[in-house]
Amino acid sequence: MRETRIGARPLVIGVDEAGRGPLAGPVVAAAVALGVNVPQRLDDSKKLSARRRAALDEQIRATCGWGLGVIEPQEIDRLNILVATMHAMTRAVAELVKHLGQEPDAILIDGNMIPAGRCADWRWPQARAIVGGDALEPAISAASIVAKEWRDRLMCEAAQAHPHYGWEKNKGYGTAEHMEALRSHGPTPLHRRSFAPVAQLALL
């Protein structure tokens, strides 16, 4: 994590996650505090081309404060995916706050839920959820980009150890190729056993 100058203005942290829906791999949350030089044309990571998203990811991590929370499949199975996502967000914010050495004035979270009441370690009452926030709030847009790029890299690395499932392309989502590989080779340690398609195939 590079040093960044947030300045004297109010500290606003944007939070988003990647990987709630896949059958395999972790869920990753990112928390971002925009620096003085805000990268241009930030947007919801899903609306950006892969090339543009990768370029923005580099710019964000070079000029902004950022933190990550990664929850592995075994913990997802133990907690359930919603609670695991809340834990990932909490870890991401905690890492960023520790790095910056100051408490945020506001935390903006994409979606309609916040970790308060769902994760015992969440300690920031100044958080609010914004539906569609990844396209509305630049700090959330930046977090969505960092979270997706980080998770995509993890899945591409995992694909080298488990080449049958096409994770370098599907990133763990239940595509036809992925489902056929599950039927042929069974689940790996990176599969979410609590997700119905994996659980059903594991019983065959």
pLDDT of residue 203: 59
**Is it true that domain 12-202 has CATH number 3.90.1150.10?**
no
pLDDT of residue 27: 98
- The pLDDT tens digits of the residues spanning 106-129 come to 999 999 999 999 999 999 999 999
User: Does residue 83 sit in helix, strand or coil?
Assistant: helix
pLDDT tier, 1 (very low <50, low <70, confident <90, very high otherwise): very low
- The pLDDT tens digits of the residues spanning 166-188 come to 999 999 999 999 999 999 999 99
> What are the beta bridge partners of residue 153?
none
Handedness of CA 17, 18, 21, 26 (dihedral sign): negative
As a whole number of angstroms, the distance between CA 116 and CA 4 comes to 28
Percent of the chain with pLDDT over 70: 95
**pTM of the model as a whole:** 0.93
pLDDT of residue 7: 53
Residues 6+ apart with CB under 8 A from 47: 135
Residues 6+ apart with CB under 8 A from 89: 15, 17, 29, 31, 69, 109, 115, 119
pLDDT tier, 202 (very low <50, low <70, confident <90, very high otherwise): low
